[in-house]
């Protein structure tokens, strides 16, 4: 063990999030860009939540889970963008160690919950298309609450285990994080302790929380697509594909960027590329999800049209 006094002398009380500091001339432009994205993301996801709650035609398991996803996306982007916007505007990139842990905890919790929730949504589609006769019996109100609640609870539990373990580490020496938010790998790299056991534990948890739901999602879609291809009528196939295509696009974007960002080795040549990928799954994905679901879903578009008509009539 090292000298406790020496540890105290070099113990860091704050980190510096470098973010996009290598592009100082673009700080104002980036601030305006991310501000527009944040406002649009919050507006889109809140709109979907309001439609799901207020429109009786959307009171089905599919839209219940979509409402949960929109709530998650609004929270997800709010753990990262406000802090990033503040640093771009003021130039202050410092964050306390405890503040960094809190951001990592909520980011990790919501990312894990999204993996589980996307898997639940694929299961819902599987039952609707592959096992339609069993759908009403299996997708009861109670089952929907249990599946959604279980996704949130397990996502936050997994992140709690990792965050508590990270909080036991000592951080000394360098305190610069070459990222725009507090993530697992940059944090662990700054620790003075042996983090091998922590990294193994985090890897196992990530497999359980992300890989297993991903495999279940892919299995569901293999069954769904196989069933759709067996539908004799072209109209029936098109209707079935339109039902699941939005969710498939969301799953592909989210998991595609997530896998590339975390599975490939981190080095100087890939660092900026991975930062771009991080922007995609933490910032752009919550923005495009409402667009994908509203533009490709007739029921959501109809609910939106009726809501707009009510607003216009109310104002008139």
Query: How far is it, in rounded angstroms, from Cα 203 to Cα 206?
Result: 5
Examine the pLDDT at 142 and tell me if it is beyond 80.
yes
Chain segment 212-243, per-residue pLDDT in tens: 898 999 999 999 889 888 888 877 777 777 77
Q: Which of 292, 284, 98, 105 is nearest to 183 (CA)?
A: 105
Examine the pLDDT at 313 and tell me if it is beyond 80.
no
Taking the model in full, what pTM does it have?
0.87
Query: How far is it, in rounded angstroms, from Cα 137 to Cα 256?
Result: 34
- Cβ atoms of 87 and 93 closer than 8 Å: yes
**pLDDT value, residue 228:** 87
Examine the pLDDT at 39 and tell me if it is beyond 50.
yes
How much is the average pLDDT of 110-131?
A: 92
Question: What's the CATH code, domain 12-315?
Answer: 1.20.1070.10
Is the model more confident about 17 or about 12? 17
Contacts of 34 (CB under 8 A, 6+ apart): 81, 84, 85, 88, 283
Region of poorest pLDDT, from 5-19, 51-65, 155-169? 5-19
């Amino acid at each position: 063990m090292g000298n406790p006094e020496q540890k105290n002398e070099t113990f860091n009380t704050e980190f510096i999030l470098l973010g996009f500091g290598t592009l100082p001339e673009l700080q104002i432009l980036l601030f305006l860009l991310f501000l527009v994205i944040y406002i649009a993301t919050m507006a889109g996801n809140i709109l979907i939540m309001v439609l799901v709650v207020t429109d009786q035609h959307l009171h089905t398991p599919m839209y219940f889970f979509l409402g949960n996803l929109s709530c998650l996306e609004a929270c997800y982007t709010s753990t990262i963008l406000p802090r990033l916007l503040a640093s771009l505007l003021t130039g202050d990139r410092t964050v306390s160690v405890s503040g960094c842990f809190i951001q990592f905890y909520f980011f990790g919790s919501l990312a894990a919950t999204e993996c589980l929730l996307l898997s639940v949504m694929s299961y819902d589609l599987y039952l609707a298309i592959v096992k339609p006769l069993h759908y009403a019996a299996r997708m009861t109100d109670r089952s929907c609450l249990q599946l959604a609640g279980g996704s949130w609870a397990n996502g936050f539990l997994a992140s709690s285990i990792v965050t508590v373990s990270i909080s036991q580490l000592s951080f000394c020496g360098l305190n610069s994080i070459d990222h725009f938010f507090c993530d697992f790998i940059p944090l662990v790299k700054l620790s003075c302790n042996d983090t091998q056991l922590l990294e193994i534990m985090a890897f196992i948890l990530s497999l359980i929380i992300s890989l297993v739901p991903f495999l279940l999602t892919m299995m569901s879609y293999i069954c769904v697509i196989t069933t759709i291809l067996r539908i004799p009528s072209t109209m029936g196939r098109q209707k079935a594909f339109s039902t699941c295509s939005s969710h498939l696009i969301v799953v592909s974007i989210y998991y595609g960027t997530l896998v590339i960002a975390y599975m490939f080795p981190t080095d100087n040549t890939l660092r900026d590329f991975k930062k771009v990928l991080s922007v995609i799954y933490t910032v752009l994905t919550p923005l495009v999800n409402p667009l994908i679901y509203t533009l490709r879903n007739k029921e959501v578009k109809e609910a939106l049209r009726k809501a707009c008509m009510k607003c216009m009539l109310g104002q008139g």
